Structure 1
Amino acid sequence: MKKLSFIFLLFIGFAFSAKAQHDPSDQILSANWDVIGSVDFKTVKDTEMYAIFGPEIKKYANKPFELEGYIVPIKDGMKQTKFMLSTLPINQCFFCGKNGIPVMVMVELTEPIKFTYQTVKIKGNLKLSTANSMDVPPISLTAAKAL
């Protein structure tokens, strides 16, 4: 869980860093990613950060939701069932979050898929967590399937 927290915080932390350049042609843009990007965060102290979900994303909570993005593994291996989904490819993760890119989404698949550097389309139930975002990703797609 500590590794997951570190990875998640790494990407959230970049949201507060200085601006940097990335290859804009690689970035996935969609209305659904805009919904994900509408989430704000409130920092309570160095070890506590909480997601603030507005009405736009709340209307999709616990319902099927589809996203296209890039796999960012949280475990070694070519087959992945639990990973982060990003709007930028892993080779640009240094820049994740620096240019207003939405927070990443945790994906939990029902069946593994092979890791790829190409985009994947995922559909699952959108779950929103009000737990400390330092410990638990605030947004996830559960019982998900690759399309």
Structure 2
Amino acid sequence: MKKIFYLLLVFLGIGITANAQHNPDDLISSDNWNIIGTVDFRTPKETEMYAIFGSEIKKHENKPFELEGYIVPIKDGMQQTKFMLATLPINQCFYCGKDGIPIMVMVEMAKPIKFTYQTVKIKGNLKLFTGNSMDNPPITLTNSVLVN
């Protein structure tokens, strides 16, 4: 995936939000998103970024974890099996996180789900990636299912 999803997010942010207005009512907030938000990053080189996972998120690693959010596709199509889940809709992606970096989680579904602009609730196993986040997303929900 090498940097592709980061470039996708940048292009989505530039292309879609140029005329978009941020609507704070659309923001999804929950205790689990707050846990995701505790992840920090260190960037030793321009081509390297590593997630720093605190004890709060580590205690959920390899366990079922539930998040409600908006689908941000990484491939075309109405049926999605692998996508990013964000706290804001795709048309507000630029505003998803702090300092322009969206708070997003990679989702790998057990079965495809239909793309929607509405929120979805997903439950999967929380996986943390300690390698270079420029190559892979630092947080993934694997073997996920639709809850709502």
TM range (shorter): 0.7 to 0.9
Q: Residues 1-147 of structure 1 correspond to what in structure 2 (within 5 A)? A: 1-2=1-2, 3-7=4-8, 10=10, 22-98=22-98, 103-147=103-147
How much does 1:98 deviate?
4.0
State how far apart, in whole Å, the 2-side matches of 1:43 and 1:99 are.
15
SS of alignment partner, residue 56 of structure 1: helix
For residue 113 of structure 2, what is the amino acid of its counterpart?
A: I
State how far apart, in whole Å, the 2-side matches of 1:101 and 1:45 are.
17
How much does 1:46 deviate?
0.5
Structure 1: segments with no counterpart, 5+ residues: 15-20
TM-score with structure 1 setting the length: 0.87
SS of alignment partner, residue 112 of structure 1: strand
* Residues 5 and 102 of structure 1, relative CA distance in 2, 3 Å threshold: closer
1:46-95 Cα offsets, whole Å, 9 max, x none, are 00000000000000000000000000000000000000000000011122
State how far apart, in whole Å, the 1-side matches of 2:35 and 2:98 are.
18
Aligned residues: 139
State how far apart, in whole Å, the 2-side matches of 1:48 and 1:99 are.
18
Contact 1:5–1:135 (8 Å) recurs in 2: no
Q: Percent sequence identity over matched residues?
A: 72
State how far apart, in whole Å, the 2-side matches of 1:69 and 1:99 are.
20
1:115-143 Cα offsets, whole Å, 9 max, x none, are 00000000000000001001100000000
Structure 2: segments with no counterpart, 5+ residues: 15-20
State how far apart, in whole Å, the 2-side matches of 1:99 and 1:24 are.
16
Contact 1:70–1:89 (8 Å) recurs in 2: yes
* Residues 102 and 95 of structure 1, relative CA distance in 2, 3 Å threshold: closer
| Alpha-carbon RMSD | 2.2
How much does 1:5 deviate?
4.2
TM-score with structure 2 setting the length: 0.86
Contact 1:36–1:102 (8 Å) recurs in 2: no
* Residues 98 and 24 of structure 1, relative CA distance in 2, 3 Å threshold: same
